[in-house]
Protein backbone atom coordinates (compact mmCIF):
# COMPACT_ATOMS: atom_id res chain seq x y z
CA UNK A 1 0.00 0.00 0.00
CA UNK A 2 1.36 3.38 -0.91
CA UNK A 3 1.85 6.13 1.61
CA UNK A 4 -0.80 8.21 -0.17
CA UNK A 5 -3.40 5.45 0.26
CA UNK A 6 -2.46 4.93 3.90
CA UNK A 7 -2.78 8.64 4.68
CA UNK A 8 -6.08 8.83 2.82
CA UNK A 9 -7.41 5.88 4.80
CA UNK A 10 -6.22 7.41 8.07
CA UNK A 11 -7.98 10.66 7.20
CA UNK A 12 -11.21 9.29 5.73
CA UNK A 13 -11.66 6.43 8.23
CA UNK A 14 -12.48 8.64 11.22
CA UNK A 15 -14.70 10.86 9.08
CA UNK A 16 -16.64 7.82 7.90
CA UNK A 17 -17.02 6.54 11.47
CA UNK A 18 -18.18 9.96 12.67
CA UNK A 19 -20.77 10.14 9.89
CA UNK A 20 -22.10 6.68 10.82
CA UNK A 21 -22.32 7.53 14.51
CA UNK A 22 -24.35 10.66 13.74
CA UNK A 23 -26.88 8.52 11.91
CA UNK A 24 -27.47 6.29 14.96
CA UNK A 25 -29.48 8.06 17.66
CA UNK A 26 -28.60 5.70 20.49
CA UNK A 27 -30.90 3.66 22.73
CA UNK A 28 -33.98 5.74 21.94
CA UNK A 29 -33.69 4.63 18.33
CA UNK A 30 -34.00 1.01 19.42
CA UNK A 31 -37.28 1.53 21.28
CA UNK A 32 -40.54 0.83 19.50
CA UNK A 33 -42.28 3.95 18.16
CA UNK A 34 -44.95 5.54 20.31
CA UNK A 35 -47.28 8.52 20.26
CA UNK A 36 -47.39 9.54 23.91
CA UNK A 37 -49.19 7.87 26.79
CA UNK A 38 -52.43 5.91 26.99
CA UNK A 39 -55.25 7.92 28.56
CA UNK A 40 -56.86 6.62 31.74
CA UNK A 41 -53.78 4.88 33.13
CA UNK A 42 -51.43 6.58 35.59
CA UNK A 43 -47.87 5.20 35.91
CA UNK A 44 -46.62 4.51 39.45
CA UNK A 45 -50.22 4.56 40.72
CA UNK A 46 -52.37 2.12 38.74
CA UNK A 47 -51.97 -1.63 38.88
CA UNK A 48 -53.10 -4.47 36.62
CA UNK A 49 -56.69 -4.25 37.88
CA UNK A 50 -57.07 -0.64 36.71
CA UNK A 51 -55.52 -1.48 33.33
CA UNK A 52 -57.97 -4.35 32.86
CA UNK A 53 -60.82 -2.02 33.84
CA UNK A 54 -59.78 0.68 31.33
CA UNK A 55 -58.46 -1.40 28.40
CA UNK A 56 -59.75 -4.92 28.95
CA UNK A 57 -57.63 -8.01 28.38
CA UNK A 58 -54.47 -7.57 26.31
CA UNK A 59 -54.01 -9.17 22.90
CA UNK A 60 -50.62 -10.47 24.05
CA UNK A 61 -48.33 -10.46 27.07
CA UNK A 62 -44.57 -10.73 27.14
CA UNK A 63 -41.78 -10.63 29.64
CA UNK A 64 -38.55 -9.17 28.42
CA UNK A 65 -35.94 -6.48 28.50
CA UNK A 66 -37.83 -3.30 27.72
CA UNK A 67 -35.99 -0.64 25.74
CA UNK A 68 -36.60 3.04 26.27
CA UNK A 69 -34.49 6.15 26.74
CA UNK A 70 -33.10 5.06 30.07
CA UNK A 71 -34.04 1.49 31.05
CA UNK A 72 -32.08 -1.44 29.68
CA UNK A 73 -31.29 -3.49 32.74
CA UNK A 74 -34.70 -4.50 34.09
CA UNK A 75 -36.95 -7.27 32.85
CA UNK A 76 -40.40 -5.72 32.52
CA UNK A 77 -43.80 -7.32 31.97
CA UNK A 78 -45.48 -5.83 28.90
CA UNK A 79 -49.12 -6.03 27.80
CA UNK A 80 -49.85 -5.33 24.13
CA UNK A 81 -53.16 -3.89 22.93
CA UNK A 82 -53.88 -3.99 19.21
CA UNK A 83 -54.34 -0.47 17.80
CA UNK A 84 -53.85 1.08 21.26
CA UNK A 85 -50.27 0.50 22.38
CA UNK A 86 -48.28 -1.07 25.18
CA UNK A 87 -48.53 -1.04 28.97
CA UNK A 88 -45.22 -1.72 30.72
CA UNK A 89 -45.42 -3.03 34.29
CA UNK A 90 -42.74 -3.11 36.94
CA UNK A 91 -41.17 -6.58 37.29
CA UNK A 92 -43.22 -7.45 40.36
CA UNK A 93 -46.47 -6.41 38.54
CA UNK A 94 -47.56 -4.08 41.34
CA UNK A 95 -47.83 -0.88 39.31
CA UNK A 96 -47.54 0.41 35.77
CA UNK A 97 -44.06 1.64 34.87
CA UNK A 98 -45.13 3.42 31.65
CA UNK A 99 -47.64 3.38 28.82
CA UNK A 100 -46.97 3.96 25.14
CA UNK A 101 -49.78 4.80 22.77
CA UNK A 102 -49.17 3.29 19.33
CA UNK A 103 -51.98 3.04 16.78
CA UNK A 104 -49.83 0.75 14.64
CA UNK A 105 -49.47 -1.80 17.46
CA UNK A 106 -50.34 -5.23 16.04
CA UNK A 107 -51.20 -6.80 19.37
CA UNK A 108 -48.06 -8.93 19.25
CA UNK A 109 -44.72 -8.44 20.99
CA UNK A 110 -42.34 -6.34 18.89
Please report, in tens digits, the pLDDT of each residue of the chain (110 residues total).
578 777 676 676 676 656 555 554 444 444 556 678 899 999 999 999 999 999 999 999 988 765 555 555 567 899 999 999 999 998 889 999 989 999 988 888 86
Ranges of each domain in the chain: 26-101
Q: Could you tell me which residues come within 8 angstroms of residue 30 by beta carbon, excluding any fewer than 6 positions away?
A: 67
> pTM higher than 0.75 for the full model?
no
Length of the chain: 110
Amino acid sequence: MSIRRALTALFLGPLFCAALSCGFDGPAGLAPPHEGTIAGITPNVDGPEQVLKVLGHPAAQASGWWKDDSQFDIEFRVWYYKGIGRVIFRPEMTTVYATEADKTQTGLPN
